[in-house]
Chain A
């Protein structure tokens, strides 16, 4: 690079070099205090992660170590037994759990999505009762699950519905438990669809329902599906409400939805085995936990994959 004809005298060159060196130093130099504070803060945050994961890892490792000996195909095919832990399995509990969550899905998907569509697309948000509903759905999602058990006992098993201690009653109770969660997630998914899409559709002469059915819902399905899967995986692991609505019976046969003879579910069966004094049953309980965790892991991974694959980026 050349300066002007004779503008870069030795004195100028010195000044330029000095200015450059100072700028370079200023850009590189970080006060020592800042460096230490940054490192310390990052370290503390990392420690928080480690503590959180350590607790979880401890539980997982214990479950695997204790439960591994009892893992075998018998677990899935055999009914439970009080006398022969070697032959005991989780079969009715697995079938019961599957039927329970099938019932939850059947109930929660139409009701949850319908409620979310109404609240987002049709309700006049300036009215006080709609705001009240909004606040209360958030509250309902935070209510302890045992309360839902009592609700189920009072209104579904007995009371107005009077279904008795059948599997469908358990399904309905669990469905009510996870319904607020599904409504909240579905609302978020619907809200995420930009208004410009709705306006574009309406400007073409579509009705509100045509707009929702053809534009809004399809675009929000991935979000809704993720929410439903997460809700179902929560329902799979809930024990307290099921204990109150009839899953306490020690069943050795395969349960059916409407049979009055009782039913069982995975968490309840695990609880059952864990209470026994014999070590073999303890190992069985841990094996059941491993099975349950494996199922939950698969479901949640599927939900994440679904979300990543079909998520709409606007």
Chain B
């Protein structure tokens, strides 16, 4: 049996088990290893509003994220891209006063349903943050932390190696797995965070401006990594770098800030969401055209 197939088997079983624990019903053809960006939807958003302590942050977001796509969220500062991203793995629950309304389906199930446990959700939907945040432990312990809390302690060495290879970091750190993660460079730390995330074998990876704190060479390495990763994971990335969105994503969502009549309040709205090529070469909305051509924002 080829190594990839056997990994796929156990990965699928684990994801099914994780989904069952999260209270999400799993359909038989879910999680099938299939390339390409057509096909089922990972997230379906309809009329999603997010408010922080009563103040609107985003309004009426409607979009569908497809499997094994790289979906980019672009837009000027303050338009709610990160807020929207954090809804997808319920990280907004951690912010006191955050309210999420509307319909947000994950593989057809309500992500905010009463039976759903946010902790289990985050085992299926991982996140990489803007500023690399490795734990103050060894490289090995960083990557092993996820599997350990999941209870997958057997064959940890193999899991760690696989995750580090998947993040294109193995060759650089294989001789110093016990050294402190803080000794790595910024780009390496971010790849470590990606390795940490994929060690848990999630279904989707969310990335919040993963390269904005990195130099161009590291950025390039991580962009290459994203294109490799999308063979196995669905990726949603927030980026303020339009060229990056054009380089790596399959579909792009453009968000924009809207002001109310007195210009006191501002919130984000989804202006256009389409295949990346269309957004950048032939957008439907004038505002999108203005943004991607650099006239505004």
Residue positions of A touching B, CB distance < 8 A: 124, 126, 194, 196-197, 199-207, 210, 214-215, 219, 312
Q: A299 to B146, alpha carbons, bound, how many Å?
A: 39
* B131 in contact (CB, < 8 A): yes
- Asked if A124 meets B200 with Cβ closer than 8 Å, knowing A196-B129, A205-B120, A210-B149, the reply is no
Q: A197 to B136, alpha carbons, bound, how many Å?
A: 9
| Additional A-B contact list (12), CB under 8 Å, known A199-B91, A205-B119 | A126-B96, A196-B131, A199-B94, A202-B94, A202-B119, A203-B126, A203-B197, A205-B123, A205-B149, A207-B149, A214-B149, A215-B135
Main secondary structure on chain B at its contact with chain A?
helix
- Asked if A219 meets B136 with Cβ closer than 8 Å, knowing A204-B149, A210-B149, the reply is yes
Pair A202/B149 contact, Cβ less than 8 Å: no
26 A-B pairs with CB atoms under 8 Å apart are: A194-B133, A196-B131, A196-B133, A197-B133, A197-B135, A197-B136, A199-B129, A199-B133, A200-B196, A201-B135, A202-B119, A202-B122, A203-B89, A204-B196, A204-B197, A204-B200, A205-B119, A205-B120, A205-B122, A205-B124, A205-B126, A205-B146, A207-B149, A210-B149, A214-B149, A219-B136
* B193 in contact (CB, < 8 A): yes
Q: Closest 7 CB pairs between A and B?
A: A205-B123, A196-B133, A203-B127, A205-B122, A200-B133, A204-B146, A206-B149
Report which of A126, A205, A210, A312 forms a contact with B136, defined as CB distance below 8 A.
Answer: A312
* Residues of B4-39 contacting chain A, CB below 8 A: none
Q: A141 to B145, alpha carbons, bound, how many Å?
A: 38
* B150 in contact (CB, < 8 A): yes
Q: Which residues of A contact B94 (CB under 8 A)?
A: 199, 202
Q: Which residues of B contact A312 (CB under 8 A)?
A: 136
Q: Which residues of A contact B119 (CB under 8 A)?
A: 202, 205-207
Q: Which residues of B contact A200 (CB under 8 A)?
A: 129, 133-135, 193, 196
Pair A204/B145 contact, Cβ less than 8 Å: yes
Residue among A199, A204, A210 with most chain B CB within 10 A: A204
Q: Which residues of A contact B145 (CB under 8 A)?
A: 201, 204, 206, 214
A235: min CB distance to chain B, Å: 31
Q: A124 to B122, alpha carbons, bound, how many Å?
A: 23
Residue among A126, A196, A200, A201 with most chain B CB within 10 A: A200
Among residues of B, the one whose C-beta sits closest to the C-beta of A194 is B133
Q: Which residues of A contact B120 (CB under 8 A)?
A: 205
Q: Which residues of A contact B123 (CB under 8 A)?
A: 204-205
Q: Which residues of B contact A203 (CB under 8 A)?
A: 89, 91, 122, 126-127, 129, 197
B22: min CB distance to chain A, Å: 10
B81: min CB distance to chain A, Å: 17
Residue among A200, A205, A214 with most chain B CB within 10 A: A205
Residue among A201, A203, A210, A214 with most chain B CB within 10 A: A203
Q: Which residues of B contact A199 (CB under 8 A)?
A: 91, 94, 129, 133
* Residues of B194-215 contacting chain A, CB below 8 A: 196-197, 200
* Residues of B115-168 contacting chain A, CB below 8 A: 119-120, 122-124, 126-127, 129, 131, 133-136, 145-146, 149-150
A150: min CB distance to chain B, Å: 41
Q: Which residues of B contact A204 (CB under 8 A)?
A: 122-123, 126, 145-146, 149, 196-197, 200
Q: A257 to B188, alpha carbons, bound, how many Å?
A: 55
Q: A215 to B181, alpha carbons, bound, how many Å?
A: 14
Q: Which residues of B contact A124 (CB under 8 A)?
A: 96
